[in-house]
Amino acid sequence: MIRIEVRSKHGDSHLGHGFDDGPEEARGLRHCIDSAALRSVALDELERQGYGVYRELSESRAETIENIETTEPGGTDFENADEGARR
């Protein structure tokens, strides 16, 4: 099993880990993200809370999630992490 540390892009903070031993329906991938590292903001609240720049990204990700069963399998960011990031 490979455990890949997930870190924030800008602050280099530890967010959790990605693993390659997940269920087949998830292409063998699973993640464990520290809940303290997350802050959920409803799509209709993004602008008001100062996250409006992420609305388009959030909407496109929501479409991807809705269509995940009909989408061809593909890679994930942590599948392609360099060896130095794998632990």
The answer on 30 and 52 residing in a single domain is: no
pLDDT reported for residue 67 = 57
In a domain, 26, yes or no: yes
> What is the rounded distance in angstroms from the CA atom of residue 10 to the CA atom of residue 20?
25
The answer on 62 and 31 residing in a single domain is: no
> What is the rounded distance in angstroms from the CA atom of residue 1 to the CA atom of residue 20?
6
**pTM above threshold 0.75:** no
How many domains are there within the chain?
2
Q: Which segments within the chain are labelled E, that is strand?
A: 3-7, 14-19, 30-33
The answer on 33 and 60 residing in a single domain is: no
Domain span at 2:
1-38
11-57: per-residue pLDDT in tens? 888 899 989 888 888 888 888 988 887 788 888 898 999 988 888 87
User: What sections of the chain are H helices per DSSP?
Assistant: 55-66
The answer on 48 and 28 residing in a single domain is: no
The answer on 52 and 31 residing in a single domain is: no
Phi/psi of residue 41, each to 5°? -130, 125
The answer on 52 and 22 residing in a single domain is: no
The answer on 47 and 34 residing in a single domain is: no
Q: List the catalytic residue out of 32, 37, 41, 62.
A: 32
Please confirm, yes or no, whether 32 is among the known catalytic residues. yes
The answer on 2 and 31 residing in a single domain is: yes
> What is the rounded distance in angstroms from the CA atom of residue 47 to the CA atom of residue 27?
34
